[in-house]
Structure 1
Amino acid sequence: MKLLNERKVRFKKNLVGEKEKNKKWIILITLISFLMSVFFLAVSELILQSASSFIAFVTVFVIILIGIVFDIIGIAITAADEAPFHAMASRKYFGARRTLKLIRNANKVSSFCNDVVGDICGIISGTAGALIVVRISQAKSMMESLLYGLLVSGIIAAITVGGKAMGKTIAISNSNYIAYRVGVVLEFVNSKIKIELSKDENRNNNNKKKRGNKTGRNSR
Protein backbone atom coordinates (compact mmCIF):
# COMPACT_ATOMS: atom_id res chain seq x y z
CA MET A 1 0.00 0.00 0.00
CA LYS A 2 1.54 3.26 -1.13
CA LEU A 3 1.60 6.24 1.12
CA LEU A 4 -0.23 9.39 0.07
CA ASN A 5 2.97 11.46 -0.20
CA GLU A 6 4.47 8.95 -2.67
CA ARG A 7 1.85 9.82 -5.25
CA LYS A 8 0.62 13.28 -6.07
CA VAL A 9 -3.13 13.41 -5.98
CA ARG A 10 -4.81 16.26 -7.81
CA PHE A 11 -8.36 17.29 -7.22
CA LYS A 12 -10.39 19.53 -9.46
CA LYS A 13 -11.80 22.66 -7.96
CA ASN A 14 -15.56 23.01 -7.87
CA LEU A 15 -16.58 25.91 -10.06
CA VAL A 16 -18.82 28.35 -8.22
CA GLY A 17 -18.85 31.16 -10.75
CA GLU A 18 -16.45 33.74 -12.08
CA LYS A 19 -13.82 35.10 -9.71
CA GLU A 20 -14.80 38.71 -10.33
CA LYS A 21 -18.46 38.00 -9.63
CA ASN A 22 -17.53 36.08 -6.50
CA LYS A 23 -15.48 39.02 -5.22
CA LYS A 24 -18.40 41.38 -5.83
CA TRP A 25 -20.73 38.95 -4.07
CA ILE A 26 -18.42 38.74 -1.04
CA ILE A 27 -18.28 42.53 -0.77
CA LEU A 28 -22.04 42.81 -1.22
CA ILE A 29 -22.86 40.12 1.34
CA THR A 30 -20.47 41.70 3.85
CA LEU A 31 -22.20 45.05 3.44
CA ILE A 32 -25.65 43.46 3.69
CA SER A 33 -24.58 41.61 6.85
CA PHE A 34 -23.40 44.83 8.47
CA LEU A 35 -26.56 46.77 7.61
CA MET A 36 -28.92 43.97 8.59
CA SER A 37 -27.17 43.28 11.88
CA VAL A 38 -27.18 46.95 12.88
CA PHE A 39 -30.83 47.36 11.89
CA PHE A 40 -32.16 44.23 13.58
CA LEU A 41 -30.08 44.72 16.71
CA ALA A 42 -31.44 48.25 17.06
CA VAL A 43 -35.03 47.08 16.48
CA SER A 44 -34.73 44.15 18.88
CA GLU A 45 -33.25 46.32 21.63
CA LEU A 46 -36.04 48.88 21.21
CA ILE A 47 -38.68 46.16 21.42
CA LEU A 48 -37.12 44.32 24.36
CA GLN A 49 -36.46 47.40 26.45
CA SER A 50 -40.16 48.22 26.71
CA ALA A 51 -41.50 44.65 26.59
CA SER A 52 -42.40 42.38 29.49
CA SER A 53 -40.30 39.33 30.34
CA PHE A 54 -42.78 37.00 28.65
CA ILE A 55 -42.77 39.04 25.42
CA ALA A 56 -38.98 39.16 25.58
CA PHE A 57 -38.78 35.35 25.81
CA VAL A 58 -41.25 34.98 22.93
CA THR A 59 -39.21 37.44 20.85
CA VAL A 60 -36.03 35.48 21.49
CA PHE A 61 -37.78 32.24 20.55
CA VAL A 62 -39.07 33.79 17.30
CA ILE A 63 -35.57 35.07 16.45
CA ILE A 64 -34.11 31.60 17.04
CA LEU A 65 -36.88 30.05 14.94
CA ILE A 66 -36.14 32.42 12.05
CA GLY A 67 -32.48 31.42 12.21
CA ILE A 68 -33.38 27.72 12.16
CA VAL A 69 -35.79 28.14 9.22
CA PHE A 70 -33.21 29.99 7.13
CA ASP A 71 -30.60 27.41 8.09
CA ILE A 72 -32.92 24.70 6.77
CA ILE A 73 -33.47 26.63 3.53
CA GLY A 74 -29.75 27.17 2.98
CA ILE A 75 -28.88 23.51 3.54
CA ALA A 76 -31.82 22.27 1.45
CA ILE A 77 -30.84 24.44 -1.52
CA THR A 78 -27.23 23.24 -1.26
CA ALA A 79 -28.24 19.58 -1.03
CA ALA A 80 -30.98 19.72 -3.68
CA ASP A 81 -30.58 17.94 -7.02
CA GLU A 82 -31.06 19.83 -10.28
CA ALA A 83 -32.21 16.85 -12.35
CA PRO A 84 -35.91 16.66 -11.38
CA PHE A 85 -36.35 20.40 -11.77
CA HIS A 86 -35.17 20.34 -15.38
CA ALA A 87 -38.10 18.07 -16.20
CA MET A 88 -40.45 20.22 -14.13
CA ALA A 89 -39.24 23.39 -15.83
CA SER A 90 -39.75 21.84 -19.28
CA ARG A 91 -43.32 21.04 -18.26
CA LYS A 92 -43.68 24.62 -17.02
CA TYR A 93 -44.31 23.81 -13.38
CA PHE A 94 -44.79 27.01 -11.41
CA GLY A 95 -41.58 27.91 -9.57
CA ALA A 96 -39.41 25.22 -11.18
CA ARG A 97 -37.20 27.69 -13.06
CA ARG A 98 -36.81 29.79 -9.94
CA THR A 99 -35.78 26.69 -8.00
CA LEU A 100 -33.16 25.86 -10.64
CA LYS A 101 -31.72 29.36 -10.28
CA LEU A 102 -31.53 28.89 -6.52
CA ILE A 103 -29.76 25.54 -6.84
CA ARG A 104 -27.30 26.91 -9.40
CA ASN A 105 -26.52 29.76 -7.01
CA ALA A 106 -26.42 27.51 -3.95
CA ASN A 107 -23.24 29.11 -2.63
CA LYS A 108 -24.88 32.55 -2.56
CA VAL A 109 -28.13 31.24 -1.12
CA SER A 110 -26.23 29.35 1.56
CA SER A 111 -24.14 32.41 2.39
CA PHE A 112 -27.22 34.55 2.80
CA CYS A 113 -29.39 32.04 4.66
CA ASN A 114 -26.83 30.29 6.83
CA ASP A 115 -24.18 32.94 7.35
CA VAL A 116 -26.00 36.27 7.14
CA VAL A 117 -29.45 35.53 8.55
CA GLY A 118 -28.35 32.62 10.73
CA ASP A 119 -25.44 34.44 12.34
CA ILE A 120 -27.42 37.65 12.78
CA CYS A 121 -30.21 35.72 14.50
CA GLY A 122 -27.62 34.09 16.75
CA ILE A 123 -26.13 37.46 17.70
CA ILE A 124 -29.54 39.04 18.28
CA SER A 125 -30.78 36.12 20.38
CA GLY A 126 -27.64 36.35 22.52
CA THR A 127 -28.07 40.10 22.97
CA ALA A 128 -31.76 39.65 23.75
CA GLY A 129 -30.90 36.95 26.26
CA ALA A 130 -28.48 39.32 27.98
CA LEU A 131 -31.20 41.98 28.21
CA ILE A 132 -33.58 39.43 29.72
CA VAL A 133 -30.96 38.44 32.29
CA VAL A 134 -30.39 42.08 33.24
CA ARG A 135 -34.11 42.59 33.70
CA ILE A 136 -34.68 39.40 35.70
CA SER A 137 -31.62 39.84 37.91
CA GLN A 138 -32.52 43.33 39.07
CA ALA A 139 -32.51 43.56 42.88
CA LYS A 140 -31.01 40.06 43.04
CA SER A 141 -27.80 38.92 44.63
CA MET A 142 -24.67 38.32 42.58
CA MET A 143 -25.04 34.55 42.85
CA GLU A 144 -28.67 34.65 41.71
CA SER A 145 -27.77 36.93 38.80
CA LEU A 146 -25.04 34.51 37.76
CA LEU A 147 -27.43 31.56 37.93
CA TYR A 148 -30.06 33.39 35.89
CA GLY A 149 -27.44 34.31 33.31
CA LEU A 150 -26.22 30.74 32.99
CA LEU A 151 -29.77 29.39 32.81
CA VAL A 152 -30.96 31.79 30.11
CA SER A 153 -27.77 31.39 28.06
CA GLY A 154 -28.00 27.61 28.36
CA ILE A 155 -31.64 27.56 27.24
CA ILE A 156 -30.93 29.80 24.24
CA ALA A 157 -27.89 27.74 23.23
CA ALA A 158 -29.74 24.44 23.66
CA ILE A 159 -32.74 25.55 21.59
CA THR A 160 -30.50 27.00 18.88
CA VAL A 161 -28.15 24.02 18.58
CA GLY A 162 -30.90 21.42 18.97
CA GLY A 163 -33.16 23.20 16.50
CA LYS A 164 -30.41 23.54 13.91
CA ALA A 165 -29.38 19.90 14.34
CA MET A 166 -32.96 18.79 13.77
CA GLY A 167 -33.29 21.28 10.92
CA LYS A 168 -30.23 19.89 9.14
CA THR A 169 -31.74 16.40 9.18
CA ILE A 170 -35.03 17.73 7.82
CA ALA A 171 -33.26 19.82 5.17
CA ILE A 172 -31.10 16.99 3.84
CA SER A 173 -33.94 14.45 3.91
CA ASN A 174 -36.37 16.76 2.12
CA SER A 175 -33.98 18.97 0.16
CA ASN A 176 -35.80 18.87 -3.19
CA TYR A 177 -39.21 19.44 -1.62
CA ILE A 178 -38.01 22.39 0.49
CA ALA A 179 -36.07 23.89 -2.42
CA TYR A 180 -39.15 23.69 -4.64
CA ARG A 181 -41.40 25.26 -2.01
CA VAL A 182 -38.96 28.14 -1.60
CA GLY A 183 -38.84 28.54 -5.37
CA VAL A 184 -42.64 28.61 -5.55
CA VAL A 185 -42.86 31.28 -2.84
CA LEU A 186 -40.20 33.44 -4.50
CA GLU A 187 -41.84 33.04 -7.90
CA PHE A 188 -45.21 34.00 -6.43
CA VAL A 189 -43.76 37.10 -4.76
CA ASN A 190 -41.87 38.01 -7.92
CA SER A 191 -44.99 37.66 -10.06
CA LYS A 192 -46.98 39.86 -7.69
CA ILE A 193 -44.28 42.54 -7.73
CA LYS A 194 -44.15 42.41 -11.53
CA ILE A 195 -47.93 42.78 -11.72
CA GLU A 196 -47.84 45.82 -9.45
CA LEU A 197 -44.96 47.35 -11.39
CA SER A 198 -46.71 46.74 -14.71
CA LYS A 199 -49.86 48.37 -13.34
CA ASP A 200 -47.87 51.41 -12.26
CA GLU A 201 -46.16 51.58 -15.65
CA ASN A 202 -49.50 51.38 -17.44
CA ARG A 203 -50.90 54.14 -15.26
CA ASN A 204 -47.88 56.32 -15.95
CA ASN A 205 -48.13 55.66 -19.68
CA ASN A 206 -51.84 56.48 -19.67
CA ASN A 207 -51.19 59.69 -17.76
CA LYS A 208 -48.48 60.66 -20.22
CA LYS A 209 -50.82 59.98 -23.15
CA LYS A 210 -53.55 62.07 -21.56
CA ARG A 211 -51.13 64.92 -20.96
CA GLY A 212 -49.88 64.64 -24.53
CA ASN A 213 -53.42 64.77 -25.87
CA LYS A 214 -54.21 67.83 -23.74
CA THR A 215 -51.10 69.68 -24.87
CA GLY A 216 -51.90 68.79 -28.49
CA ARG A 217 -55.41 70.19 -28.17
CA ASN A 218 -54.18 73.34 -26.47
CA SER A 219 -51.62 73.97 -29.21
CA ARG A 220 -54.37 73.72 -31.80
Structure 2
Amino acid sequence: MKFSIRNSIRWSIFISIVTFILACIFTVASTTLLEGVTWAIGMLVVIVLVFIGIFFDIMGLAAAAANEVPFHGMASEKVSGSRHAIFIVRNADRFSNFCNDVVGDVASVISGAASAAVVIKLMSSFGDGNEVMRTVVSVVFTAVVSALTVGGKAMGKSFAIHYSTDIVLFIGKLFYVLEHRLKIRIFTPKRKQKTNTKRGNKRARTNQSA
Protein backbone atom coordinates (compact mmCIF):
# COMPACT_ATOMS: atom_id res chain seq x y z
CA MET A 1 0.00 0.00 0.00
CA LYS A 2 1.47 3.33 -1.12
CA PHE A 3 2.06 6.00 1.50
CA SER A 4 0.01 9.17 1.17
CA ILE A 5 0.14 12.11 3.57
CA ARG A 6 -3.46 13.03 2.81
CA ASN A 7 -4.69 9.49 3.47
CA SER A 8 -2.57 9.33 6.61
CA ILE A 9 -4.13 12.53 7.95
CA ARG A 10 -7.62 11.29 7.12
CA TRP A 11 -6.94 7.98 8.83
CA SER A 12 -5.52 9.75 11.91
CA ILE A 13 -8.63 11.91 12.24
CA PHE A 14 -10.93 8.94 11.68
CA ILE A 15 -9.13 6.69 14.16
CA SER A 16 -9.09 9.47 16.77
CA ILE A 17 -12.87 9.76 16.51
CA VAL A 18 -13.24 5.97 16.72
CA THR A 19 -10.95 5.89 19.77
CA PHE A 20 -13.02 8.56 21.49
CA ILE A 21 -16.24 6.64 20.84
CA LEU A 22 -14.80 3.30 21.95
CA ALA A 23 -13.31 4.85 25.08
CA CYS A 24 -16.72 6.24 26.00
CA ILE A 25 -18.37 2.88 25.37
CA PHE A 26 -15.77 0.95 27.37
CA THR A 27 -15.93 3.43 30.23
CA VAL A 28 -19.72 3.42 30.45
CA ALA A 29 -19.86 -0.37 30.17
CA SER A 30 -17.20 -0.98 32.83
CA THR A 31 -18.67 1.63 35.18
CA THR A 32 -22.14 0.14 34.79
CA LEU A 33 -20.86 -3.37 35.46
CA LEU A 34 -18.87 -2.31 38.52
CA GLU A 35 -21.73 -0.43 40.16
CA GLY A 36 -23.54 -2.47 42.75
CA VAL A 37 -21.38 -5.59 42.37
CA THR A 38 -18.96 -7.22 44.75
CA TRP A 39 -15.21 -6.81 44.48
CA ALA A 40 -14.90 -10.41 43.24
CA ILE A 41 -17.08 -9.70 40.20
CA GLY A 42 -15.19 -6.46 39.74
CA MET A 43 -11.94 -8.42 39.58
CA LEU A 44 -13.50 -10.63 36.91
CA VAL A 45 -14.43 -7.55 34.87
CA VAL A 46 -10.85 -6.27 35.13
CA ILE A 47 -9.44 -9.62 33.99
CA VAL A 48 -11.82 -9.67 31.02
CA LEU A 49 -10.66 -6.18 30.01
CA VAL A 50 -7.03 -7.26 30.29
CA PHE A 51 -7.61 -10.28 28.07
CA ILE A 52 -9.45 -8.14 25.51
CA GLY A 53 -6.37 -5.93 25.27
CA ILE A 54 -4.08 -8.96 24.92
CA PHE A 55 -6.32 -10.55 22.26
CA PHE A 56 -6.40 -7.45 20.06
CA ASP A 57 -2.68 -6.91 20.58
CA ILE A 58 -2.08 -10.40 19.18
CA MET A 59 -4.27 -9.72 16.15
CA GLY A 60 -2.57 -6.42 15.36
CA LEU A 61 0.95 -7.81 15.62
CA ALA A 62 0.06 -10.90 13.59
CA ALA A 63 -1.23 -8.69 10.77
CA ALA A 64 2.02 -6.71 10.79
CA ALA A 65 4.20 -9.84 10.86
CA ALA A 66 2.29 -11.95 8.33
CA ASN A 67 3.47 -12.54 4.77
CA GLU A 68 1.04 -12.04 1.91
CA VAL A 69 2.38 -14.86 -0.30
CA PRO A 70 0.78 -17.89 1.44
CA PHE A 71 -2.67 -16.35 1.20
CA HIS A 72 -2.46 -16.08 -2.58
CA GLY A 73 -2.08 -19.85 -2.77
CA MET A 74 -5.05 -20.24 -0.46
CA ALA A 75 -7.07 -17.81 -2.56
CA SER A 76 -6.31 -19.83 -5.70
CA GLU A 77 -7.70 -22.87 -3.89
CA LYS A 78 -10.73 -20.78 -2.85
CA VAL A 79 -10.10 -21.09 0.88
CA SER A 80 -12.72 -19.08 2.74
CA GLY A 81 -11.30 -15.94 4.31
CA SER A 82 -8.08 -15.95 2.28
CA ARG A 83 -9.02 -12.85 0.27
CA HIS A 84 -9.93 -11.06 3.46
CA ALA A 85 -6.57 -12.11 4.91
CA ILE A 86 -4.79 -10.59 1.90
CA PHE A 87 -6.63 -7.34 2.46
CA ILE A 88 -5.65 -7.38 6.15
CA VAL A 89 -1.95 -7.89 5.34
CA ARG A 90 -1.98 -5.17 2.69
CA ASN A 91 -3.53 -2.78 5.21
CA ALA A 92 -1.51 -4.05 8.17
CA ASP A 93 -0.58 -0.54 9.31
CA ARG A 94 -4.20 0.50 9.77
CA PHE A 95 -5.36 -2.85 11.08
CA SER A 96 -2.57 -3.05 13.67
CA ASN A 97 -3.16 0.59 14.58
CA PHE A 98 -6.81 -0.16 15.30
CA CYS A 99 -6.13 -3.38 17.22
CA ASN A 100 -3.02 -2.35 19.17
CA ASP A 101 -3.37 1.39 19.64
CA VAL A 102 -7.14 1.78 19.76
CA VAL A 103 -8.74 -1.29 21.30
CA GLY A 104 -5.62 -2.58 23.08
CA ASP A 105 -4.59 0.70 24.69
CA VAL A 106 -8.16 1.74 25.51
CA ALA A 107 -8.76 -1.63 27.18
CA SER A 108 -5.54 -1.20 29.18
CA VAL A 109 -6.51 2.29 30.36
CA ILE A 110 -10.04 1.24 31.28
CA SER A 111 -8.77 -1.87 33.07
CA GLY A 112 -6.48 0.35 35.14
CA ALA A 113 -9.38 2.59 36.11
CA ALA A 114 -11.57 -0.43 36.83
CA SER A 115 -8.88 -2.01 38.99
CA ALA A 116 -8.70 1.20 41.03
CA ALA A 117 -12.46 1.02 41.59
CA VAL A 118 -12.17 -2.62 42.63
CA VAL A 119 -9.37 -1.77 45.06
CA ILE A 120 -11.54 0.91 46.67
CA LYS A 121 -14.37 -1.59 47.15
CA LEU A 122 -11.99 -4.21 48.47
CA MET A 123 -10.37 -1.78 50.90
CA SER A 124 -13.74 -0.65 52.21
CA SER A 125 -14.55 -4.23 53.20
CA PHE A 126 -11.65 -4.27 55.69
CA GLY A 127 -12.91 -1.31 57.68
CA ASP A 128 -11.07 1.79 58.84
CA GLY A 129 -8.92 0.19 61.52
CA ASN A 130 -6.83 -2.12 59.33
CA GLU A 131 -4.68 0.29 57.32
CA VAL A 132 -1.82 -2.16 56.79
CA MET A 133 -4.05 -4.78 55.20
CA ARG A 134 -5.73 -2.20 52.99
CA THR A 135 -2.36 -0.98 51.73
CA VAL A 136 -1.10 -4.51 51.09
CA VAL A 137 -4.26 -5.45 49.18
CA SER A 138 -4.09 -2.29 47.08
CA VAL A 139 -0.44 -2.82 46.14
CA VAL A 140 -0.78 -6.54 45.46
CA PHE A 141 -3.90 -6.24 43.31
CA THR A 142 -2.46 -3.40 41.22
CA ALA A 143 0.78 -5.33 40.77
CA VAL A 144 -1.08 -8.48 39.73
CA VAL A 145 -3.10 -6.62 37.10
CA SER A 146 0.05 -4.95 35.74
CA ALA A 147 1.99 -8.22 35.66
CA LEU A 148 -0.90 -10.02 33.97
CA THR A 149 -1.15 -7.30 31.32
CA VAL A 150 2.56 -7.10 30.52
CA GLY A 151 3.17 -10.84 30.78
CA GLY A 152 0.13 -11.67 28.67
CA LYS A 153 1.14 -9.23 25.95
CA ALA A 154 4.72 -10.55 25.97
CA MET A 155 3.51 -14.11 25.48
CA GLY A 156 0.97 -12.92 22.93
CA LYS A 157 3.66 -11.18 20.87
CA SER A 158 5.70 -14.38 20.61
CA PHE A 159 2.58 -16.31 19.65
CA ALA A 160 1.56 -13.69 17.07
CA ILE A 161 4.96 -13.65 15.37
CA HIS A 162 5.33 -17.44 15.10
CA TYR A 163 1.73 -18.13 14.08
CA SER A 164 0.95 -14.95 12.17
CA THR A 165 -0.34 -16.76 9.07
CA ASP A 166 -2.78 -18.93 11.02
CA ILE A 167 -3.99 -15.99 13.09
CA VAL A 168 -4.58 -13.72 10.10
CA LEU A 169 -6.37 -16.52 8.25
CA PHE A 170 -8.56 -17.06 11.31
CA ILE A 171 -9.43 -13.35 11.35
CA GLY A 172 -10.13 -13.50 7.62
CA LYS A 173 -12.50 -16.41 8.17
CA LEU A 174 -14.31 -14.44 10.86
CA PHE A 175 -14.76 -11.55 8.44
CA TYR A 176 -15.89 -14.02 5.78
CA VAL A 177 -18.57 -15.42 8.10
CA LEU A 178 -19.72 -11.94 9.07
CA GLU A 179 -19.97 -10.90 5.44
CA HIS A 180 -21.54 -13.98 3.84
CA ARG A 181 -23.69 -15.42 6.61
CA LEU A 182 -24.57 -12.48 8.83
CA LYS A 183 -24.51 -9.91 5.99
CA ILE A 184 -22.20 -7.61 7.98
CA ARG A 185 -19.68 -6.23 5.50
CA ILE A 186 -16.60 -4.81 7.19
CA PHE A 187 -14.65 -4.37 3.98
CA THR A 188 -14.63 -5.68 0.44
CA PRO A 189 -11.34 -7.08 -0.85
CA LYS A 190 -10.42 -5.52 -4.16
CA ARG A 191 -10.10 -7.87 -7.09
CA LYS A 192 -7.61 -7.36 -9.85
CA GLN A 193 -9.05 -6.07 -13.08
CA LYS A 194 -8.71 -8.30 -16.09
CA THR A 195 -6.30 -7.12 -18.75
CA ASN A 196 -7.17 -9.69 -21.40
CA THR A 197 -9.14 -7.16 -23.47
CA LYS A 198 -6.20 -4.77 -23.63
CA ARG A 199 -3.87 -7.54 -24.73
CA GLY A 200 -6.40 -8.65 -27.35
CA ASN A 201 -6.62 -5.13 -28.75
CA LYS A 202 -2.85 -4.89 -28.98
CA ARG A 203 -2.66 -8.19 -30.85
CA ALA A 204 -5.40 -7.09 -33.23
CA ARG A 205 -3.55 -3.86 -34.00
CA THR A 206 -0.30 -5.68 -34.69
CA ASN A 207 -2.10 -8.12 -37.00
CA GLN A 208 -3.74 -5.27 -38.93
CA SER A 209 -0.43 -3.44 -39.34
CA ALA A 210 1.18 -6.64 -40.62
TM-score range, shorter chain: 0.7 to 0.9
Q: Is the 8 A contact 1:74 1:109 kept in 2?
A: yes
* TM-score normalised by L of structure 2: 0.82
Aligned to 1:127: 113
- Of 164, 168, 190 in structure 1, the residue corresponding to residue 179 of structure 2 is 190
Q: Is the 8 A contact 2:59 2:99 kept in 1?
A: yes
Aligned to 2:157: 168
Structure 2 CA distance for aligned equivalents of residues 195 and 173 of structure 1: 30
Q: CA deviation at 1:165?
A: 0.4
SS at match of 1:194: coil
- Of 42, 61, 78 in structure 2, the residue corresponding to residue 92 of structure 1 is 78
Q: CA deviation at 1:153?
A: 0.8
Aligned to 1:179: 168
Aligned to 2:62: 76
Q: Which runs of 5+ in 2 are unaligned?
A: 186-210
Deviates more, 1:96-105 or 1:37-46: 37-46
Match of 2:175, as an amino acid?
Answer: L
Q: Is the 8 A contact 2:67 2:165 kept in 1?
A: yes
Aligned to 1:6: none
Aligned to 2:191: none
Q: Is the 8 A contact 1:16 1:107 kept in 2?
A: no
Kindly tell me: are residues 129 and 169 of structure 1, through their superposed partners in 2, closer, same or farther at Cα, counting changes over 3 Å? same
Give the 5 Å matches for 1:1-220: 17-138=3-124, 139-140=127-128, 141-194=130-183
Q: Is the 8 A contact 1:60 1:128 kept in 2?
A: yes
* TM-score normalised by L of structure 1: 0.79
Q: Is the radius of gyration larger for structure 1 or structure 2?
A: 1
Q: Is the 8 A contact 2:31 2:114 kept in 1?
A: yes
Q: Which runs of 5+ in 1 are unaligned?
A: 1-14, 197-220
Deviations 1:162-198 (A, max 9, x none): 00000001000100010100101111111124389xx
The answer to which structure has the higher helix fraction is 1
Match of 2:136, as an amino acid?
Answer: L
Structure 1 CA distance for aligned equivalents of residues 104 and 56 of structure 2: 7
Structure 2 CA distance for aligned equivalents of residues 157 and 48 of structure 1: 19
Match of 1:117, as an amino acid?
Answer: V
Q: Is the 8 A contact 2:178 2:184 kept in 1?
A: no
Structure 1 CA distance for aligned equivalents of residues 157 and 163 of structure 2: 10
